[in-house]
Amino acid sequence: MPVKWNGDEVMAKVRAGAMRGVMRGTERVHDLATRKIMDPPKTGKKWPGLPNQSSAPGESPATQSGRLQQSGQTVYDNANLSGQAQWTSAHALPLEVGTEDIDARPFARPALAESVDGIREDVAEEIRKALA
């Protein structure tokens, strides 16, 4: 009995589904990080001249000029089935990791850590849909 091998077609569908899942997951991280910046609570000082109350150490940074969240972007690499949520503003890294004098106000890695289960579900669901 002849057997028709559909391996290449199936793998193409799996890769396409996985990439859609990666994109959903990456957008999930970007959106959550943005919410962490925009949403209360921020319990730091209210500095004169700044529109909003600042964040306390350990909290996600408060939005002031809007440059941090506006610098957020997502970048994809289809060949390697990967995505990155990036923040290109000059003060993104100092806020995320702190300096020798200033405590960190992390937002990107907490958003990634809290999204791990969701990213797994995104990828699994998109692969399931691709194979349906």
Partner 1 sequence: MKLSRAIRTAIIEATPISELLGKYSGSPGVFTRRPVPEGALYPLVIVPSENAGASDEDGLRSFRPVLQKDVLVYGEQPDQYRLVDDLADALFVLFHRQKRSISVEGFHVIDIVARRPIQAPTSDAKRVGRLVPLTIRLQDLAG
Of 19, 22, 85, 112, which one interacts with partner 1 (CB under 8 A)?
112
> What stretch of H or E contains 132?
none
Of 102, 120, 124, 128, which one interacts with partner 1 (CB under 8 A)?
102
Least distance (Å) between residue 112 CB and partner 1: 6
Residue whose CB is less far from partner 1, 20 or 110: 110
Distance CA 54, CA 45 (A): 5
Q: Site mask, partner 1, residues 57-86, x = CB under 8 A?
A: xx----------------------------
Least distance (Å) between residue 92 CB and partner 1: 10
Rule CB under 8 A: say whether 93 interacts with partner 1. yes
């150490």: which residue's tokens? 57
Give yes or no for a contact between 54 and 42, defined as CB atoms under 8 angstroms apart. Answer: yes
Tell me if residue 47 falls in helix, strand or coil.
coil
104: left (phi over 0), alpha (psi -120 to 50) or beta: beta
Residue whose CB is less far from partner 1, 44 or 110: 110
